[in-house]
Every structure is written in C-alpha cells, then in structure tokens.
Amino acid sequence: MRSAGQVTQAFAEEKDNILSWYILHHAVDDNELQELSTRLTKAVEVANRLHAGSLRKTGEPYIYHPLRTAMEVSRFGRIVDWPSIEAAILHDTIEDTDYSLEELRRDFPDSAELVEALTKIKDDKELSYRRLFEYALKDIRVLLIKIADRVDNLGTLHIFSPEKRLRIARESATMYANTCERLCMLDLASRLREQVGEYLTPEKYAEFQEAQKKAKKELERPLVHLRSRLAEVFPGDLTVRIDIHWNRFDHTLPVINENLFTVRIIAESREAAYQALGRVHISFPAIPGTFKDNISNPRENGFRALETSISNRGMIVRFYIASREDDRYNRLGLLSMDVESAHFNTRYLKDLREFLEAEDFANIQDYLRFNLPDGIQVTTPKGETVNLEVGATALDFAFALHKGLGLRATGAIINDIPTSIATKLKMNDRVIIKTADHPVCNEKFQQWATTRRAMSAIKRYLRQEELRKASEEGKKLLLGVGTAAGMDSWEVDNRVKALAAQSGEKTDKIYEEVFFGKMPLEKVLGPLARPGWNPVSALLQKVMPPKPVAARTVRRYDFSSNLRFCTKCVPVLGDEIEGVAGERVLTVHRKGCFSDDSVPRVTVEWDRQKKIELRDPGPVKLEIVTTPTPGLLYRTMAPFRNLEIEINSISLPGEDNILHLEFRPGTSRALDRLLRELRKLEFVREIELGHSEAPH
C-alpha cells in the first residue's frame, strides 16, 4: 500500500497526465488551463475525501481507479469535454458513498447528469444496460466513460474468483469489445479482447503468447529480408509508411502464423493505397481468396482499407493498406470525431435509436449480435462486392441486392454449383440468384433469412399479402351478400366507391375491414331485406350445401405468426380448448376462459400425431407477469428444479413485474408439465411463451 506522501505525489503526476492529454486534443489558453487545473483539483479532492479508507481488493486506495478512468477518457480526443473528465473521477461516488445527487448537482453542475447516468442499477443487469444505451443516444460521453471504466477494471481481474473472472471477461468481450468494434474503435476493441483473452481461453492465450515469442526469434531474418524487398518495391517515389505490427491476442481468431503479425502500409491517399496494393501483388505471389476491398466497399462501421495476403519464402504474410485519414478512423472510429461535428450522429446511433424504440427490448446483446461489422464479402456475376454478416444465406444476398430479387428467389448458384437459397455463404463466394417471374415469398423465407434487412422485407411482404387476400375475400363477401339480397354487382361496386370517397379510404381498405369484421355489411350495402334475414347465411345456403365444419388442428409450440395461445389460461395438450378469431390471428383458450358470447368461436383440436409430445420445441423464452410476492423467484424456480430443466438466462422483474427466462425444455411434454405447474402459482397473472434465438 502506498504512503500518504506517495499518494500526494501520484495525484500530482496523474493530474498532470490528465491535463496533458486533454490539452493535446483541445485548444486551451493560459486562463482556461488555470481554470481546468482548479476544477481538476476540486474533483480529485472531493473524490479522495469520499473514497477515503476504501481499498480495492488489490490493497490499493480506491481513488486510483477513478483517476485512471479519467486518464483513459482524457485520451479519447475531441469527442469528450471537461465535464467528461469530472464525471470519470466522480463516477462511483453516488453508488459507493453517501454523497447525494443533490450535493453532486450543487458541487459539479456540469457533470452531475453524466454521473447519474453512469450509476448502475444493481438489481437488474439488463435494465442497467438498457439505461446505459438509452443515455448514450442522448449523450455518447456516457458510453465512452463506461468503456474507460471497464478498461481499468480489467487490469485487476486476476483478484476475483474463477467464476467471476469468466463472467466479467465474457461480458467485456460480448458487450464492450463488440460495441467498440461497431463504433470502429478498433484499437480499443483489440485492447479489451487482449485483456480478457487469458481468462476466456487461457490455453489458446498461452499458445498465442508462445507462438508470437517464437516467431519474433525464428522470423527475425525472414522479416529482415521482407523489409529489404519492400524497400525495393517502394524506393521513395510513392510516399508510404511501412511497419511490421505484432498483433494483440484475439480469442476469436485461430493461432496461426498469419495472425501473429501484419505488415501495415499507410499511404497519403486512397488512390496511393491502390497503387501500393498493385506493387505488392506484382512483387509477391498473392494468396487466392484473401483480398478484401473495404475502400470501395466500406464495412457498416465505416472501416476502409485494403487487405491481402502474400507468400514470401514459404511464409504467408498479411498486409493492411490504407490512406492516412482512413487508418486514423479505422483505429479510433468514433474517437476521431469532434462532438460538434455534423457527421457525429453515426449510422450506428440511428440504428440503436430505432432498435430501442421499435423492439420489445430484452437484451442489448441481441442488438450487438445483429450489428457487428460485416463478416464476409461475396460477389455478383458482374464482380460487384456485397458485404454480409457471418452466417448469411443466399436469400440474404438476394435481398441485399434488391427487395424484388429476394421476393422472387427460387434458388441459387454458388461458385457454379446449383443449391438452395437457404445455403449459408462463405467469404468470396460468387453467387447467382435464380428467380421466378413473380413473388414466391412465403412463411419458410423467415426461417432462411438471417439479416435484419431480409427479415424486415419478408415480414412486410407477408403482411401486405395477407391484407391483399383479405381485401379480395371481403369483396367476394360483399358481392355475394349483395346479389343474394337482390342487388346487381355494379350497384355493390358503386356503394363501396361512394363509402370510400366519403371516408377518404381506398376501396381495398373497405373490403379488408369487411373481411375482418371491422365494418358491418349494412354500412356498405344499406338496410338488408326482411327482418331476421341473415345475408351471410343466405349466401352460404345459396352457393354451397351445408357440410360439417372441420376442426382446425393446432400445435402448442409451432410459434406460428397467426396463432396465439391465451396468456391467462395457458392451454396445453390435454386441455379442452376453443378458438376465438381476431384480426389476422386465432387465439386458443381453455374452454370457459373467454366469456364474450357475442364473439363467434372457431372449432379447434390438439394435433395428436404419434410422438408429438416427444418433439424438441427448441430454445424457448418465457415472460411471466407476476404480482409482487415474497419468495417469488424461489417459488417460480421450483417447477424448473422438479423437472430438471436448466435455465440459460434469467432477468428479474423490474417495475413492469415481468420475469424473463430462456431455457431449452428438451421435449414438448416437459414444457407442457412446466406450464401446468407455473399456471397453478397464485402470483402468476400471465405467461407468454415464444421462440428464443439462443444458440442450440
């Protein structure tokens, strides 16, 4: 532990470092510098007083953690301002001391809101993340300070238990490193991945360290030769900076020689970068399939560079070539921007805003998983490059080119081999899409698509088709009822057109509302014939003979888009059931649950195919609406324990009193038994069941 004198000296050193880094990125005159120094001293003294006597598990005074966090923030450039520095120093005061928010607002009015946003919500991790990202939409400084906080905390990860180390390491990789990569802060992302590597994959981490140590020794002479060859290739007529960069460990990459180091060539312009690439490919044998052009086809996060691999004396060497301006953005990403810049509001933040506003938010990691930078590049027959996520299918490729192409896709030819549109694509595949002359999109397309663009287009088309068919059926119904009542077809058409003109709706909308029962027939056709006469019954008797109504067969765990199961009575196989038709959806109830006799019932019955109870419904998620009750979680977990069902993730009830769980029951029978037990609990008000995207 450091002495008081050492603490005082360290404060002086770290305050100097914070100021030095800050003024490196900001224009500060002498008067402003004096003011900032005074404000810095005040923030450090308040934080030191509040954290006095508090030690980290390393034995170090706690104050050093917020000071190092502030130093990290000060390096972030013009995107952060002085209140960001103060907030970094004070970020744990509300959470860990008796310092009140009112006192903070009084003492540090410029940074109080930032500190409040950074205060964790201890009882609910997911809610904490949602709050963090919602604040980031309003103020990106919140996210940047949180990342700096995590960078410093990872330096003491070794002191925790193995279980806690692993949990924090995973969270840092999936949440923080991926967020940095999505913002193109690749230097920061690589630092985070290296810090957590020895805890996530210790054997692989040790293998990498040993391989890199060995390579630095064994490749010393080959690399001297490579430098000599590059000096010949670039004699000075093309201004470039060349260096051999030893890479940081990344647990997502295999430990192979070409991942140990990279030759970086930084040119003055993008045109010069292409010229440099040409010289490399002329001078060294290129490895087929390794070239990526992210200058003309930048990644979603804005990354622009040329990447290729060559062979030199039996050694595979990876090259990174970029302009000086692009390289700065590739390394720093969002940190290279000025917070006042017109370009500051990046596409990422727009996407995040749309996601938080439109989605039923459960886990921010769902968003990050969908929004990692593009992982593969595939080409069209004309040689055009398309960026797609890892795991994307030929159908995703079709929608990436054009929505109409995706809707008409019937098959694919990948590298001259005919295949299905559900086929997953690999880096540098050449893809041709086979099409019909009309849209053939159906429900199965939703199973084959993985990208948000494709899934959104498919859902929109299926919804439009459903409405189109409803309009057609509504028109048939009106014409049939009208003619059964003695009207001519032209008279029915005129009545529909008149009503459409009066209401400002299109005629298709009128037909659609008639079909869904939203608009009474009499509103369109006027009073219909004699009292007690049912026009629909008369029509049916006229056009078709009576026949028994066939029951619709339903399965509990098909997760159909137009089939729902009541969340209050929670019917399962074996219960007596009935259906209630709504707008574009059929809801299945246990008999006696739905009490509105004015709504017609639909005859439904369980699918009792052989072995259906033994089928695996796959990963599922439950949302249980509860009434606050002591011991709620323990009692809810009892059925899971009794049935030996392992829960993959759980999110505790917040203000909405909803418990979120994800698990894999194994069989439909086990899931039936679980639902029966859960619906018996008196504090359970509703149970919503859905399909989870969790990996199998």
Contact 333, 302 (CB under 8 A): yes
Record the tokens describing residue 284, joined without a space: 């060294």
Contact 65, 59 (CB under 8 A): no
Note every long-range contact of 610-613, with CB atoms under 8 Å and residues 24 or more positions apart, other chains counting.
612/555, 612/573, 612/668, 613/573, 613/667, 613/668, 613/669, 613/672
Using the 8-state DSSP alphabet, how is residue 424 labeled? B
Contact 161, 347 (CB under 8 A): no
Handedness of CA 524, 526, 527, 528 (dihedral sign): negative
CB contact set of 8 (below 8 Å; sequence gap of 6+):
none
Concatenating the DSSP letter of every residue in 457-493 gives HHHHHHHHHHHHHHHHHHHHHHHHHHHHTT--HHHHH
**Cα(476)–Cα(455) distance, rounded to whole angstroms?**
32
Q: Which of 32, 96, 218, 488 is catalytic?
A: 96
Residue ranges with strand state E in 617-671: 620-626, 647-651, 658-663
Using the 8-state DSSP alphabet, how is residue 393 labeled? B
Concerning whether 95 is annotated as a catalytic residue, the answer is: yes
Contact 161, 188 (CB under 8 A): no
Concerning whether 644 is annotated as a catalytic residue, the answer is: no
Chain position carrying tokens 């018996």: 680
Q: Chain-centre distance of CA 605, in angstroms?
A: 38
Contact 253, 278 (CB under 8 A): no
**Cα(79)–Cα(101) distance, rounded to whole angstroms?**
25
Q: Are strands 658-663 and 684-691 parallel, antiparallel or unpaired?
A: unpaired
Record the tokens describing residue 373, joined without a space: 């930078």
Between the two ends of the chain, the Cα-to-Cα distance in Å is 48
In angstroms, the Cα distances linking 384 to 216, 301, 380, 381, 399 are 39, 20, 5, 7, 15
- Residue 359's DSSP bridge partners are none
Q: Which of 16, 32, 60, 95 is catalytic?
A: 95
Q: Are strands 240-246 and 261-267 parallel, antiparallel or unpaired?
A: antiparallel
- Residue 241's DSSP bridge partners are 266
Count, in order, helices (H) and strands (E) of the chain. 28, 20
Contact 441, 458 (CB under 8 A): yes
**Cα(291)–Cα(268) distance, rounded to whole angstroms?**
21
Q: For residue 578, give the nearest of 598, 601, 599, 557 by alpha carbon.
A: 601
Q: Are strands 604-606 and 552-554 parallel, antiparallel or unpaired?
A: parallel
Contact 514, 523 (CB under 8 A): no
CB contact set of 308 (below 8 Å; sequence gap of 6+):
277, 280, 281, 286, 287, 290, 291, 292, 318, 319, 321
Contact 2, 64 (CB under 8 A): no
Contact 42, 34 (CB under 8 A): no
Handedness of CA 577, 580, 586, 592 (dihedral sign): negative
Cβ atoms within 10 Å of 96's Cβ, excluding its own: 13
Contact 552, 559 (CB under 8 A): no
Record the tokens describing residue 46, joined without a space: 């308040």
- Residue 580's DSSP bridge partners are 587, 601
Contact 307, 254 (CB under 8 A): no
Active site residues: 95-96
